[in-house]
Amino acid sequence: MSSAFFISSLVVLWYSSNIGVLLLNKYLLSNYGFRFPIFLTMCHMTACAVLSYISIVLFKFVPLQAVKSRTQFFKIATLSVVFCGSVVGGNISLRFLPVSFNQAVGATTPFFTALFAYFMTFKREAWITYAALVPVVTGVVIASGGEPGFHLYGFIMCISATAARAFKSVLQGVLLSSEGEKLNSVNLLLYMSPISVLVLLSATIVMEPNVLDVTVSLGTEHKFMWLLLLVNSVMAYSANLSNFLVTKHTSPLTLQVLGNAKGAVAVVISIFLFRNPVTFIGIAGYSLTVLGVVAYGETKRRFK
């Protein structure tokens, strides 16, 4: 019973932190007047760097794994840049797209993962596994046609972020595949976060030069501004940590199933919270995408 309660608590933490970050990002970027997705991502990664250090070095949550070579460091830096691109792209898309449509596009991650895995590692799946990806893409095409709030630039950024996220997962498997270079998720986050902060700081200075003035002004005008940024950043770390814990104590397949359900829950909550209009065609397209993702996960499990 205690084990079941622990795992249930982890799942609740994973759900609440992932959905919380998504909704707070949307609120800050499109409803609060905070138009700085790069700076927001930098806040997230700063929190991840600090809290990863505390959890590993001070609380000994997992053993500290050292970076063993300059080559390994270069690989981690490459992952950091790709990761920054995926998160920033996703945050930019939230400025222009409803959360519901953002999640529909994000559900196509398995399609891009299979595509990159095929071209980068020549890994082939059973034909039925690839067939299951057809409704994944078809659903997004249908949802795009039925989305009242469709925005081309937002869609391009969202699909780019989804592709970058898939590319990062495949790249991580390729770059850190040897036994001597494997890092668990918490240690990988510890080393990736500071590099990401440096990359994002440079991008912020160039692309969002007035961020500090506007943020201070918003903080003066809205008394909860700083609290929202702090909570949002801590939840970003919580989402990464709970992802690692749920995978460790259950399985990657369980996490994928939970992710499918999480997307549906996020869509429903966002519709009620932000009141964005939806159409039957849009709902049908998103439902088809989710069913395709479920079928893809099931075929991968059966035809390993």
Dump the DSSP string for 259-287: HHHHHHHHHHHHHHHH-----HHHHHHHH
Residue in 113, 143, 147 with CA at minimum distance from that of residue 130:
113
Parent domain of 71: 2-302
Domain total of the chain: 1
> What token pair was written down for 202?
């440079």
Average pLDDT (19-47) is 90
Q: What is the dihedral of CA 95, 100, 105, 111, to 10 degrees?
A: 150
Instruction: Give the pLDDT band (50/70/90) at residue 245.
Output: confident
263 vs 292, more confident: 292
Q: Are 181 and 72 in contact, with CB atoms under 8 Å apart?
A: yes
Q: In one letter, which amino acid is 59?
A: F
Q: Specify the pLDDT at position 1.
A: 47
Q: Specify the pLDDT at position 2.
A: 66
Average pLDDT, the chain: 85
Q: Among 65-74, 164-173, 256-265, where is mean pLDDT lowest?
A: 256-265
Q: What is the dihedral of CA 272, 278, 283, 289, to 10 degrees?
A: -90
Q: Among 102-106, 178-182, 213-217, 284-288, where is mean pLDDT lowest?
A: 178-182
Q: Among 8-22, 81-95, 159-173, 238-252, where is mean pLDDT lowest?
A: 238-252
Q: How many other β-carbons are positioned within 10 Å of the β-carbon of residue 50? A: 15
CA 56 to chain CA centroid, nearest Å: 22
Q: Phi/psi at 289 (nearest 5 deg)?
A: -65, -45
| Helices and strands: H and E segment counts in the chain | 13, 0
264 vs 62, more confident: 62
Over the range 75-87, which residues count as b (16 or more CB within 10 Å of their CB) and which as e? Answer: bbbebbebbbbbb
| Helix (H) or strand (E) segment spanning residue 215 | helix 211-221
| Helix (H) or strand (E) segment spanning residue 6 | helix 2-26
Instruction: Give the pLDDT band (50/70/90) at residue 260.
Output: low
47 vs 270, more confident: 47
Q: Among 40-54, 146-160, 198-212, 272-286, where is mean pLDDT lowest?
A: 272-286
Average pLDDT (209-229) is 88
pLDDT at 252 over 60: no
Q: Among 64-73, 83-92, 230-239, 243-252, where is mean pLDDT lowest?
A: 243-252
Residue in 96, 100, 75 with CA at minimum distance from that of residue 191:
75
Q: Specify the pLDDT at position 132.
A: 81
Instruction: Give the pLDDT band (50/70/90) at residue 47.
Output: very high
pLDDT at 74 over 50: yes
Tell me the residue ranges of DSSP E strands in 95-206: none
pTM, full prediction: 0.83
DSSP per residue over 42-63, as a string? HHHHHHHHHHHHIIIIIS-SS-
**pLDDT tens for each residue of 23-34:** 899 888 887 778
C-alpha to C-alpha distance for 6 and 249, rounded to whole angstroms? 9
Q: How far is CA 192 from CA 32, 69, 160, 265, in A?
A: 29, 15, 20, 29
**pLDDT tens for each residue of 136-175:** 888 888 887 777 888 899 999 999 999 998 888 888 877 7
- Cβ-proximal residues to 204 (8 Å cutoff; 6+ apart), any chain: 36, 38, 39, 42, 211
